[in-house]
């Protein structure tokens, strides 16, 4: 039955592609009412396809990324230096329609041998390989990839946008997580519309993913498990990476601002035959206000159609449920602001979201670590942020305390992550004048295990008792 449904869905997907190409494009290129056309659009019949393509724009980005991880004690240390970028071609708009294409590449300038596991723990490299392709570590990690390939439509008043094809998304669960050379991209049909009364709807259907730190596109079910899969609730190695059967992701959201002070946002993300995640978030005040407050709550339930004996192959086993809460208070004092954050994941089950699709939505998130795969979590963080200490200079220091279940608790600790404290220093500088477009960033962090835990080398390696440094240069044109 599932095979029949998959064939039907693939047929519908192919039919949609053909219909959009053959019917929608000519329709959009036909005569439209003047009020439907975005500013600067070519609307006259004298404009040929050749002119629309010739007068397009070319944008790009170069990135040089140096990364190093120092593990205390005997385990290996690592480093990597990568250079790459991306070039984007965007056609001129014609009756609201635009073609867009982006290709990227990464060169391995110098790095440790990322194909060899650590001799003490037997574990592979965790961070540096993410600059290249985690699915295929090689002695020379030069990779190329297709990022965007789409048709998008924007209405004249810019209240409606529809994208079909390969694209970037920025949502709580599906996002670029742009902390390496190649961010995450998604393929599908996505739309966003804001009504005259300020109610915003967003969502669509995603059927392919190009995860961060990979060089290929994968079906949604194939993309789950490209990163390490941890263990199942019985403590056995998870086998869901090759056992999923899903037609894709359906995501929907609604957002409304009430009296210019309170903003409510609701999201629902359904992954067919895997799980459903519902989230609601409230934001009181603007980011620039003296005081502002934010809070979110989410619930996850499995919808896999497997037998209880198939726990090892189910991404979220039947009977498991995850509930989480996160909150933030922010105070702005001129160029300085501080933020205090708290997250609670209950004992009902692990919070699960494929790491290949995006980073955690929790306010306690800090770069280079996540709380995905965990239950019974208490997390507290503080952010101190100075903006424009001098023109273009931003300084941020973060401290976090993460109380997690024991590494021996397989039901609530998927990746054997110890309880830990994390400290970050993040310095960013945007160049001005003749160096416009150039930006530099230095990120340093230290993670240490909390006392009272009996830990072996494996749950420590590349997780705690480690220093990590990034130096990033970006040039955008």
Residues 6 or more apart whose CB falls under 8 angstroms from that of 345 comprise 322, 323, 324, 351, 371, 374, 375, 376, 377
Distance CA 99, CA 91 (A): 5
Query: Mean pLDDT score of the chain, rounded to an integer?
Result: 89
Q: What digits encode the pLDDT tens for the residues 227-281?
A: 999 999 999 999 999 888 999 999 999 999 998 899 999 999 999 999 999 999 9
Weakest mean pLDDT among 1-10, 105-114, 168-177: 1-10
Instruction: Report whether pLDDT(179) > 90.
Output: no
Do residues 87 and 101 lie in contact, with contact meaning Cβ atoms separated by under 8 Å?
A: no
Distance CA 108, CA 84 (A): 9
Kindly report the backbone phi and psi dihedral angles of residue 51, in degrees, each rounded to the nearest multiple of 5, phi listed first.
Answer: -70, -40
Q: Which of 406, 441, 448 has the alpha carbon at shortest distance from 423?
A: 448
Distance CA 41, CA 97 (A): 9
Question: Cα–chain-centroid distance for residue 62?
Answer: 20
Q: pTM of whole model > 0.75?
A: yes
Instruction: Report whether pLDDT(1) > 80.
Output: no
Instruction: Report whether pLDDT(290) > 90.
Output: yes
DSSP letters spanning 412-428 = TBTT-PPPEEEEEEEEE
pLDDT band per the 50, 70, 90 thresholds, residue 185 = very high
What's the mean pLDDT in 77-89?
97
pLDDT at 49: 86
pLDDT at 41: 55
Distance CA 239, CA 236 (A): 9
Angle at the Cα of 299 from the Cα atoms of 297 and 301, rounded to 5 degrees: 175
Neighbour count for residue 131 (Cβ, 10 Å): 27
Structure tokens at 184: 């995450």
Tell me the three state secondary structure of residue 106: strand
Distance CA 339, CA 180 (A): 25
Q: Which of 175, 199, 181 has the alpha carbon at shortest distance from 141?
A: 181
Instruction: Report whether pLDDT(217) > 70.
Output: yes
pLDDT at 139: 75
Residues 6 or more apart whose CB falls under 8 angstroms from that of 247 comprise 5, 6, 9, 207, 220, 272, 273
Q: What digits encode the pLDDT tens for the residues 415-459?
A: 999 999 999 999 999 999 999 999 999 999 999 999 999 999 999
Q: What digits encode the pLDDT tens for the residues 278-288?
A: 999 999 999 89
Q: What digits encode the pLDDT tens for the residues 7-56?
A: 444 444 544 443 344 333 333 333 333 334 444 555 444 568 888 999 99
Structure tokens at 145: 């990839």
Residues 6 or more apart whose CB falls under 8 angstroms from that of 213 comprise 129, 130, 131, 132, 133, 134, 180, 181, 182
Structure tokens at 155: 């209405």
Distance CA 90, CA 107 (A): 25
Q: Which of 345, 307, 339, 348 has the alpha carbon at shortest distance from 326?
A: 345
The domains located in the chain, with CATH, are 31-476 (2.40.160.10)
Look at 336 and 141; give whichever has higher pLDDT: 336
Q: Which of 267, 293, 263, 264 has the alpha carbon at shortest distance from 279?
A: 267
pLDDT at 75: 86
Q: How many helices (H) and strands (E) in the chain?
A: 4, 19
Tell me the three state secondary structure of residue 203: strand
What's the mean pLDDT in 113-136?
94
Weakest mean pLDDT among 93-102, 135-144, 342-351: 135-144
Do residues 219 and 207 lie in contact, with contact meaning Cβ atoms separated by under 8 Å?
A: yes
pLDDT at 34: 36
pLDDT at 354: 97
% of residues, the chain, pLDDT over 90:
81
pLDDT at 47: 60
Do residues 189 and 205 lie in contact, with contact meaning Cβ atoms separated by under 8 Å?
A: yes
């Amino acid at each position: 039955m599932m095979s029949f449904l998959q064939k039907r869905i693939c047929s519908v997907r192919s039919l949609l592609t053909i219909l959009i190409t053959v019917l929608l494009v000519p329709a959009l290129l036909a005569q439209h009412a003047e009020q439907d056309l975005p500013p600067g659009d070519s609307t006259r019949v004298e404009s040929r396809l050749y002119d629309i393509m010739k007068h397009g724009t070319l944008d790009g980005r170069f990135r040089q990324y140096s990364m190093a991880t120092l593990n205390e004690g005997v385990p290996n240390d690592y480093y990597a230096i990568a250079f790459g970028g991306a070039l984007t071609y965007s056609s001129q708009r014609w009756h609201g329609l635009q073609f867009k294409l982006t290709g990227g590449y990464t060169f391995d300038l110098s790095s440790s041998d990322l194909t060899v596991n650590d001799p003490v723990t037997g574990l592979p490299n965790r961070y540096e390989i993410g600059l290249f392709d985690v699915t295929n570590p090689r002695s020379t990690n030069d990779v190329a990839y297709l990022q965007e390939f789409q048709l998008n439509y924007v209405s004249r008043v810019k209240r409606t946008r529809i994208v079909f094809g390969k694209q970037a998304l920025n949502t709580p669960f599906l996002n670029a997580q742009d902390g390496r050379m190649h961010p995450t991209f998604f393929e599908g049909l996505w739309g966003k519309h804001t009504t005259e009364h300020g109610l915003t709807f967003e969502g669509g259907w995603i059927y392919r993913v190009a995860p961060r730190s990979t060089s290929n596109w994968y079906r949604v079910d194939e993309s789950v498990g490209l990163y390490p899969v941890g263990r199942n609730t019985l403590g056995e190695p998870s086998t869901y990476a090759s056992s999923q059967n899903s037609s894709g992701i359906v995501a929907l959201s609604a957002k409304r601002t009430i009296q210019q002070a309170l903003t409510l946002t609701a999201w629902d993300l359904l992954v067919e035959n895997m799980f459903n995640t519902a989230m609601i978030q409230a934001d009181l005040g603007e980011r620039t206000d003296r005081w502002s407050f934010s809070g979110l709550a989410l619930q996850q339930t499995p919808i896999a159609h497997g037998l209880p004996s198939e726990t090892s192959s189910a991404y979220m086993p039947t009977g498991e449920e995850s509930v989480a809460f996160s909150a933030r208070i922010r105070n702005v004092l001129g160029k300085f602001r501080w933020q205090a954050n708290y997250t609670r994941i209950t004992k009902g089950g692990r919070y699960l979201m494929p790491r290949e699709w995006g980073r955690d939505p929790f306010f306690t998130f800090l770069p280079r670590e996540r709380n995905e795969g965990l239950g019974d979590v208490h997390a507290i963080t503080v952010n101190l942020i100075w903006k424009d200490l001098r023109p273009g200079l931003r300084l941020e220091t973060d401290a976090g305390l993460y109380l997690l279940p024991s590494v021996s608790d397989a039901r609530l600790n998927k990746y054997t992550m110890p309880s830990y404290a994390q400290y970050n220093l993040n310095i960013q500088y945007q160049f001005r004048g003749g160096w416009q477009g150039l930006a530099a960033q230095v990120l340093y962090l230290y993670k240490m295990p909390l006392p009272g835990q009996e830990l072996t080398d494996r749950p420590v390696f590349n997780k705690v008792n480690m220093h990590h440094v990034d130096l990033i240069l970006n040039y955008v044109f």
